Amino acid sequence: MSHSFFGGVHPAEHKAATEGKPIVPMEVAPQQVVLPMSMHVGAPCKPIVAVGDQVTVGQKIAEPAGLGAPIHASVSGKVVAVEPRPHPGGDKVMAVVIENDGLDTFGSELTPHADFSGLTTEQIVDIVREAGITGMGGAGFPTHVKIQSAIGKADTIIINAAECEPYITSDHRLMLEHPQEIITGVQIIMQALQLKSAVIGVEDNKMDAVKVLEETLQGKDTGITVLAAKTRYPQGAEKQLIQRVTGRQVPPGKLPADVACAVFNVSTAYAIYEAVCLGRPLTRRGVTVSGEGVANPCNLMVPIGTPLQHIVDQAGGLTENAAWVLMGGPMMGIAQYDLSAPMIKGTNALTCMVPAEHAPAVTDPVCIRCGKCVEACPMHLEPMYINMYTTARRYEETEQFHVTDCIECGSCAYTCPAGIPLVQNIRVAKIQLRALAQKAKS
């Protein structure tokens, strides 16, 4: 049974340019990959290789320092630098730079388990940890920690295949091209959590993917069902998908495990299959390159750490009137100022936009208290008041409006007739609150 969730919007989908194009390897491999030590929620990893070392695909090159996931070489070759490099998040972070020898020599230490039926929960968690798998929907939370936190608490597994952002089709294509591998990944998650059922939530603008998954499941007693949910953004957000599938609402400040749910992205399920069954760590992923600002929109299988400029070049390069390159989609994507920055584990798309695809800037945005942002907010927040206190630099007073519960989906800014940069102002408030909290501790 499908339920509903509060708020949300339905922006133009813009998926036609790539939804019919398979995920293909890049014609030209990157000469170098840049692997940032920060690709996940938690502290940056610590490099365990040095300049001059020879590495192979799948070789561990960095260990987590606390909460995190290890990082593996995505190409074989020589380490030529361990130094700060531009990060797609906007700053510079320590990175390992590998000169690609073009041989793709594989050297993973993981043991393949084609038959995983005898693996214990602890063994699966250990494999997922050692494979460096993080949430591949963008959040980057270490997957082994998510599994551990759900053990004994979750009664419902949800696979997030909504892919609700405009332009992005990499998950859609993955479902069409690798349905059995995804289903196997889901079964591994079910075995780890010792649960007998799971739901794959797909938006109903991808009915071909629903059909392929259902045909793959037909006649098999897997306990896995496919839910075709009415398309609405931001259905791919964890809490909204939980409400859509189960009717349960995650309380403010709480996690999915608090309502007995565990949510995993469909690409994460595929990565779990590769790690457990093939012994392959997370070293690559599907990326959609789309928008009117790129010459040849496409879906590519890209080694993690590939510079964004190289990915754009493999899609034919930017058009003359390209104005923005976003890592991600137009609703939640991060505008890039330096295309030498690399893609990371959570990069599912590069959206290259021209001015006509972007709402015109408002020179003097004034809130008229229309309430559209409140109606659109899926988290029951009041963005106009958060904006008001942020503009006045009264950051601590934004806490009464639960600013930290904002998922930064952009629904409020999308509906605002005044063009107020609501999400940016909410981000400012969060940053200032963290700074104030840190100052209070010191």
Q: Which pLDDT tens digit goes with each residue over 319-353?
A: 999 999 999 999 999 999 999 999 999 999 999 99
How many Cβ atoms are within 10 Å of 114's Cβ, its own excluded?
9
DSSP string, 337-380: S-TTSBP-TT--EEEEE-GGGSPPPPSS-------HHHHH-TT-
Question: How many Å apart are CA 182 and CA 188, to the nearest integer?
Answer: 10
Region 275-292 average pLDDT: 97
- Domain assignment present for 344: no
Total Cβ atoms within 10 A of residue 295: 17
334-335, strands of its sheet edge to edge:
23-25, 298-303, 284-290, 349-353, 324-327, 334-335
pLDDT at res. 1? 52
Residues 397, 269 within the same domain: no
**346 domain residue, yes or no:** no
Q: At what angle do helices 266-278 and 170-177 cross, to 10 degrees?
A: 50
DSSP H stretches of helix in 115-255: 121-130, 143-150, 170-177, 179-193, 207-217, 238-246
Instruction: Work out the angle at residue 420's Cα, subtended by the Cα atoms of residues 439 and 436, and round it to the nearest 5 degrees.
Output: 5
| Structure-block tokens of residue 137 | 């929907």
Report if residue 409 sits inside a domain: yes
Domain containing 273 — which CATH number? 3.40.50.11540
Same domain, 133 and 260: yes
pLDDT number for residue 360 = 67
What contacts 200, CB < 8 A, 6 or more positions away? 158, 159, 161, 182, 186, 213, 224, 225, 226, 227, 266
The answer, yes or no, to whether residue 398 has pLDDT greater than 80, is: yes
What is the number of other CB atoms lying within 10 angstroms of the CB of residue 83?
Answer: 12
Q: How confident is the model at residue 363 (pLDDT cuts 50, 70, 90)?
A: low
User: How many structural domains does the chain have?
Assistant: 2
| 272 plus 137 within the same structural domain | yes
State residue 259's pLDDT score: 95
Question: Per the structure block, which two tokens stand in for 187?
Answer: 């079964």
DSSP state of 402: T
Does the pLDDT of residue 171 top 90, yes or no? yes
Task: Return the closest-CA partner of residue 179 out of 205, 156, 208, 158.
Answer: 208
Q: To which residue do tokens 């793959």 refer?
A: 216
Residue 394 above 90 pLDDT? yes
Q: Is the pLDDT of residue 184 over 60?
A: yes
Identify whether 240 is part of a domain: yes
> Do the domain assignments include residue 366?
no
Whether residue 65 is contained in a domain is answered as no
Among candidate residues 254, 278, 302, the one where a domain is terminated: 278
Question: What mean pLDDT, rounded, does the chain reach?
Answer: 94
CA distance 280 to 108: 7
Same domain, 251 and 395: no
> How far, in Å, CA of 294 to CA of 291, rounded?
6
Q: What is the pLDDT of residue 243?
A: 94
pLDDT of residue 5: 87
If asked whether residues 255 and 386 sit together in one domain, one would say no
User: What are the tens digits of pLDDT across the range 294-325?
Assistant: 999 999 999 999 999 999 999 999 999 999 99
User: 344 near 36, Cβ under 8 Å?
Assistant: yes
**What is the reported pLDDT for 366?**
87
Q: Point out the domain boundary residue: 278, 298, 327.
A: 278
Is 290 among the domain residues?
no
> Is residue 178 in a domain?
yes
Domain span at residue 397 reads 372-441
Mean pLDDT of 42-66: 95
Global pTM? 0.94
**Token pair for 3:** 């339920």
Q: What is the number of helices (H) and of strands (E) in the chain?
A: 12, 17
- A 10 A CB-CB count for 320 gives 7
Q: Is residue 46 within a helix (H) or strand (E), and if so which, with residue range?
A: strand 46-47
Q: Which of 278, 297, 331 is the last residue of a domain?
A: 278
- Classified as helix, coil or strand, 166 is coil
239 and 127 housed in the same domain: yes
Residues 150 and 269 in one domain: yes
pLDDT of residue 70 exceeding 80, the answer is yes
Element (H, E) at 289: strand 284-290
Distance of CA 336 to the CA centre of its chain: 17
Residues 249 and 146 grouped into a single domain: yes
